[in-house]
Structure 1
Amino acid sequence: MDEERTWDLSILVEDTSIEGLKQANGSTRTELGNELKELREASLEIDAEELLKHIHKVENTLSRLITIAAYTNCRFLSDTTEKGSQTFASISQGNIDEYYSTKRVLYKILGQQVEQRPELLEDPVLSNYKHLLEMSGENQSYTLSQNEEELILEKDSNGISVLSQLQEMWTSSIILDVEIEGNKQKLSLNKARGLLASDDRETRRIVSEAYYGSFARDKLIHTNALRAICSDHVNMTKRRQWPSYMTQSFIDQDVDEQTIMSLLKTVEDSSSSVQDYIQLKAKHFGYKKLLRYDMPAPWNPKRYWEADWTTAKKTVIQAYATFDDEIGKYVSSLFTDRRIDSEDRPGRSIIPGVCWGVPEKKTSFIFLTYNNSLSNAYTLAHELGHGIHNYFIDKGQTFLNIDTSMCIAETGSIFGELLLTEHLLKECETDELKTEVLENVVGRFYGTTFNLTAYALFEMSLYDAIMDGQMLDAEKICEIWIATRERIFGDTIEWPVQYDYEWAKVHMLYMPNFRFYNYSYVFAQLLVFALYEDYKENPSNFSERFKRLLSRGCSMSPREQIAEMGYDITKSDFWTLGIKQAERLLDELKRIS
């Protein structure tokens, strides 16, 4: 075992035995339950200072709970075969569940306080938690009576939640029979998904027909599950009197309708950009037009970029340090303090990468498996970006203000990818190396931004159809999907018939009570590309403004945070900056292709 490439978890807990962890965890959870009970039983006439004391108590205990979750999860990730590994996983997941459950209870209590005494929002004693109180109050305004909420939970647990689980379990159980190069094979959907990106076109055709054909064959399951979940959401929108079927997602993501509509419209209006990329890829392959199954194909089957761990570490540190000295020093400290586990060894988790922020200890722990590839280097830069984000949040916020909106959560990580891209392009000595770097970034940008915008528009159209009284059978859903994809991709792609059911594979569409999961990723991608364009045009004071943005956590809405950077995200002008940055990279890819 290479000590330099394994993490040192000793700062997290004192007693690392399973019994010691269980005991510490049990007492922490008991303490947390007692604190919530005290707060719940406190009179609504409790003054601001007393409320603040209760909030601080819950924060401190929650922070300890997350530290234990981080330790046990890191132990599990680094060796899933270790004796006690399943116990580690159970403790970690249990604490994460407890964390979110506690937050829901706390926000409800705070929402009730704000509902009864709105003047708390302006009390200087609670100024650090003003935005938290605002969000709690807004959510409370759509909360129904206790009996109604309990009935909704019962309805969901025996209805849409079951349908969601059924759809997922059914898809997970499917085995495809395919014949590739004369060899008959049985493939799970996960294994088949990997072959959809094969460098052999015939393999892609065969596997895509089987893969998407399975969704067409099982259309009754996918259609009924999707219709029920979407119809339920429309009904809940009416019952809770949400202004629109997107309101729930706006509250969850701490954004507003004007911002998201501007974002989605900008992407749709910029569809010529992704079409330009698709046509370039078709030209590169020597095709007049791409078939849909050509889209995930690698630009070049041969990989040119390779670097050992020492070189990759040096490269990534330099990429960050060139941007900002403080950030570079922090990144370097994560290596020297052994906060990163990257060694490929038996028993490790197969997840590509994760960054565990530990606010109580003011640090982060990063997990990835590094095997010298370009994608591994980008994973390293990405997870370090999360660590940087955590570093500045921990410096500037208390525990309940660390949970950023998903729209903001990828800011540090994607920005780190762009810093690495710029650094690598300067180092690349051949066009083959530059092409591999550029296609990695450009392909991911266009794939994320435009595909997920299509799914957001598709989801909106589903709700519109339901509200218009239309029946969402398989044919209608396919019709809506075909019309939506044409809005983004035009006629630049030829779609084999099996792709009419492409919508059925999208897990996020089947997540009950968590709608419009899609646009947060579009927001994140375009936000960072826009900020990077700002950086290239205004480099002198950018890093200080950027670090301030990273430090805000959820103490302000994303709209307010980016306003501090000098931009109005309700205007398409800002989002267009992101498209402009992507097109700079696309133009360079065109030049050397």
Structure 2
Amino acid sequence: MESKKETLERKDLPQELKWDLESMYKDVGEWEKDYNKAKEMAKNFDSHKGEAVSSSENLYNTLKDKDELYRLASNLYSYTHMKLDEDTRDGKSQALSDKGLSLYIEVEEKTSFLVPEILTLDLNVLEKYYEEKPELKLYKKYIDNILRQKSHVLSAREESILAQVGEIGSAPEKIYSMLSDADLKFPVIKDEDGKDVEITHGNFIPLMESKNRDVRKNAFEALYNTYEGFKNTFAAALSGDLKKNIFNANIRNYKSSREASLDTNNIPLSVYDNLINSVHNNLDSMYKYMEIRKRALEVEELHMYDLYTPIVKDVDFKIPYKEGVELVKKALVPLGEEYMDVVEEGFSSRWIDVYENRGKRSGAYSSGSYDSKPFILLNYHDTLDNVFTTAHEMGHSIHSYFTRKNQPFVYGNYSIFVAEVASTANESLLMDYMLKNVVDKNERLYLLNHYLESFRTTVFRQTMFAEFEKIINEHLEKGESLTADYLCEEYKKLNELYYGPSVVVDDEIAIEWARIPHFYYNYYVFQYATGYSAAVALSQKVLEEGKESVDKYLNFLKSGSSDYPLNVLKLAGVDMTTEEPVNNAMKLFSKLVDEMDKLI
């Protein structure tokens, strides 16, 4: 099956192109059995309250029971959120997702006493516990991390209250998702062939890549004018979400929500600030790239709807899914046999939900639980960009696979800070493979353009998002209001700064913040840019140094959260506490811009 212009109902898609959620639960009845089991486990966990740290035996049993409870609850919740994402219009899936989320919130509330109790432990007593109960050493890193954040943990009662209001706190993001993904309807426009096509989240970027400027302009204006009509609702939802984060930061004795978010992974604020500073210092290269784009497209004015279309003429990479899969496989061979065995398993064992269907969640992601397959959601169209998305999400899922196979549950996930490294390294290897095997000058230019676009969207654009997050959070933290007009004004200013004098920053782009779900992820996006920089460094090491670097890289993928993310990356060969990785990525971007300038 090839992707089609019309969006199908889910039942009309072939089974082999849909992910295998049945491997988690055959049906809702089976899910309900585990749900009832988890409810009982959560109820019984109360027996540990007040006794968790009274002996080494009690501490170990409490931590073991907590892991078992979270392991089951995360499996239940993962299933429901992926089931809902298959068709966000489905009322039964919405209800099941609510039930799964409510259970997870209940588990957080039932276990909320544990951290405050651990914080009452005397360090000498804790060392004695490790001697008495050697099995307890499994949790040493977990306990050390709790003690590190001692000044930010509240009393058992206060932690319980915070956990109980967790479901309320998730409301703004849920409202955003329902409005943006389920309720919002976009207009129909004419495509390149003059046929009617309804704009969707999944086909918007392919439309923006169109060679026909009228198609791009019409899609751009239609989508953003739709968001403009709901700007006050989107502003209220975003404001509510950020206020929740600020409240949680304040009550936990942090100076800002940014400090609170980064401290989760022991990341200093300087890493965030260094990123913004490094990108600001290299904006001249972006401005030069925009000048090349304007010249190549032969337009009097370069508009925001001109930024995604390839600037190389007479090259049209139309890559059906099966061909894209083969490209990805060939590109990842330098990562070795152990890695490639998992790649083969991923593509052949229904990890992936391939095509868009009506009501399906937009975008792409890797998900799943400790005990499930590391599933991948795609909305595949036959574009080069979608091939890179496939490589990207496969990188996430293989990272999850190796982590879960090599770490116990307590360390069986990797931190957000390193989450984008494995995915982006895959993209870098794919680009390297394609550049080495291309012979046509125009195709090489096309690939260079794509690589530069990857930098633009992943380093420059995500850093712009990160700076926007910083600005609007600080605005709220000063006691100011987050109105739609303020958000639009600040967002447009940043676009003008990041894209420079060669670009007409159209008024419509000011509302783009309303369609970015990552602004609800509490300082997530900066890690795309830092992760990209680390990934470029690691992929180059794999290509240049071979087996030694491959082994280090695989060890990184297997490390999970067994150490702090900055330390895990250092062992792999990248030090993100310095500006060097970002500056090196900027140098590569500048080099690619210069090559394109000479060839075009």
TM-score band, normalised by shorter chain: 0.7 to 0.9
Aligned to 2:42: 33
Aligned to 1:551: 558
How far did 1:443 drift? 1.0
In the superposition, the TM-score normalised over structure 1's length comes to: 0.79
How far did 1:326 drift? 1.7
Distance in 1, Cα, partners of 2:21 & 2:585: 39
Aligned to 2:583: 576
- Equivalent of 2:549 in 528, 542, 567: 542
Give the RMSD, CA atoms, in angstroms: 4.4
- The change in CA–CA distance for 1:301 and 1:110 in structure 2 (over 3 A counts) is farther
Would you say the 8 A contact 1:530–1:574 is kept in 2?
yes
Instruction: In structure 1, give the amino acid aligned to 2:388.
Output: Y
SS at match of 2:119: helix
Distance in 1, Cα, partners of 2:358 & 2:227: 34
Distance in 1, Cα, partners of 2:186 & 2:91: 31
- The change in CA–CA distance for 1:151 and 1:329 in structure 2 (over 3 A counts) is closer
How far did 1:190 drift? 4.7
Q: Which moved more, 1:574-583 or 1:445-454?
A: 574-583
Measured against aligned partners, the alpha-carbon deviations of 1:140-159 in whole angstroms (never above 9, x if no partner) come to: 6334456766777899988x
How far did 1:29 drift? 1.0
Aligned to 1:443: 453
- Equivalent of 2:62 in 51, 54, 57: 54
Would you say the 8 A contact 2:189–2:199 is kept in 1?
no
Distance in 1, Cα, partners of 2:550 & 2:295: 39
Instruction: In structure 1, give the amino acid aligned to 2:440.
Output: T
- Equivalent of 1:240 in 247, 252, 276: 252
Q: Does 1:453 align with 2:463?
A: yes
- The change in CA–CA distance for 1:350 and 1:249 in structure 2 (over 3 A counts) is closer
Distance in 1, Cα, partners of 2:96 & 2:233: 34
Would you say the 8 A contact 1:530–1:579 is kept in 2?
no
Aligned to 2:308: 296
Distance in 2, Cα, partners of 1:418 & 1:378: 9
Aligned to 1:419: 429
- Correspondence list, 1:296-315, <5 A: 296-299=308-311, 304-306=316-318, 311-315=323-327
Aligned to 1:515: 522
Would you say the 8 A contact 1:304–1:432 is kept in 2?
no
How far did 1:549 drift? 1.2
How far did 1:246 drift? 1.2
- Correspondence list, 1:83-122, <5 A: 94-95=99-100, 98-99=103-104, 102=107, 106=111, 109-118=114-123
Would you say the 8 A contact 1:404–1:554 is kept in 2?
yes
Instruction: In structure 2, give the amino acid aligned to 1:496.
Output: D
- Equivalent of 1:526 in 510, 533, 541: 533
SS at match of 1:569: coil
- The change in CA–CA distance for 1:35 and 1:351 in structure 2 (over 3 A counts) is farther
- The change in CA–CA distance for 1:401 and 1:203 in structure 2 (over 3 A counts) is same
Distance in 2, Cα, partners of 1:88 & 1:416: 33
Aligned to 1:128: 138
Equivalenced residue count is 578
Aligned to 1:397: 407
Q: Percent identity?
A: 20
- Correspondence list, 1:162-173, <5 A: none
Distance in 2, Cα, partners of 1:542 & 1:10: 38
- The change in CA–CA distance for 1:135 and 1:314 in structure 2 (over 3 A counts) is same
- The change in CA–CA distance for 1:29 and 1:238 in structure 2 (over 3 A counts) is closer
- The change in CA–CA distance for 1:473 and 1:280 in structure 2 (over 3 A counts) is same
How far did 1:266 drift? 1.8
Would you say the 8 A contact 2:201–2:363 is kept in 1?
no
Instruction: In structure 1, give the amino acid aligned to 2:48.
Output: L
How far did 1:59 drift? 2.5
Measured against aligned partners, the alpha-carbon deviations of 1:516-553 in whole angstroms (never above 9, x if no partner) come to: 23212222222212322444554452111111111121
Structure 2 stretches lacking a partner, 5+ long: 1-12
Structure 1 stretches lacking a partner, 5+ long: none
- The change in CA–CA distance for 1:388 and 1:193 in structure 2 (over 3 A counts) is closer
- The change in CA–CA distance for 1:99 and 1:175 in structure 2 (over 3 A counts) is closer
- The change in CA–CA distance for 1:318 and 1:196 in structure 2 (over 3 A counts) is closer
Measured against aligned partners, the alpha-carbon deviations of 1:232-277 in whole angstroms (never above 9, x if no partner) come to: 6556544432133412211345422122222222222222232233
Distance in 2, Cα, partners of 1:4 & 1:178: 30
- The change in CA–CA distance for 1:174 and 1:540 in structure 2 (over 3 A counts) is closer
Aligned to 2:275: 263
- The change in CA–CA distance for 1:166 and 1:75 in structure 2 (over 3 A counts) is closer
- The change in CA–CA distance for 1:70 and 1:434 in structure 2 (over 3 A counts) is farther
Aligned to 2:54: 45
How far did 1:438 drift? 3.7
Instruction: In structure 2, give the amino acid aligned to 1:554.
Output: S
Aligned to 1:202: 214
Would you say the 8 A contact 1:5–1:340 is kept in 2?
no
SS at match of 1:246: helix
Would you say the 8 A contact 2:202–2:362 is kept in 1?
no
How far did 1:284 drift? 1.6
Would you say the 8 A contact 1:69–1:91 is kept in 2?
no
Distance in 1, Cα, partners of 2:248 & 2:27: 46
Would you say the 8 A contact 1:359–1:394 is kept in 2?
yes
Q: Which moved more, 1:112-121 or 1:283-292?
A: 112-121
Measured against aligned partners, the alpha-carbon deviations of 1:104-126 in whole angstroms (never above 9, x if no partner) come to: 75465134313444557766544
Aligned to 1:379: 389
- The change in CA–CA distance for 1:273 and 1:355 in structure 2 (over 3 A counts) is same
How far did 1:571 drift? 0.9
Q: Which moved more, 1:549-558 or 1:243-252?
A: 243-252
Would you say the 8 A contact 2:117–2:156 is kept in 1?
no
Instruction: In structure 1, give the amino acid aligned to 2:551.
Output: E
Q: Which moved more, 1:120-129 or 1:495-504?
A: 120-129
Instruction: In structure 2, give the amino acid aligned to 1:359.
Output: Y
Distance in 1, Cα, partners of 2:104 & 2:234: 32
Measured against aligned partners, the alpha-carbon deviations of 1:356-381 in whole angstroms (never above 9, x if no partner) come to: 455347x5445557676534433332
Measured against aligned partners, the alpha-carbon deviations of 1:311-355 in whole angstroms (never above 9, x if no partner) come to: 54444333222332221233234445x344567698995756554
Distance in 2, Cα, partners of 1:226 & 1:8: 34
- The change in CA–CA distance for 1:310 and 1:238 in structure 2 (over 3 A counts) is closer
Aligned to 2:10: none
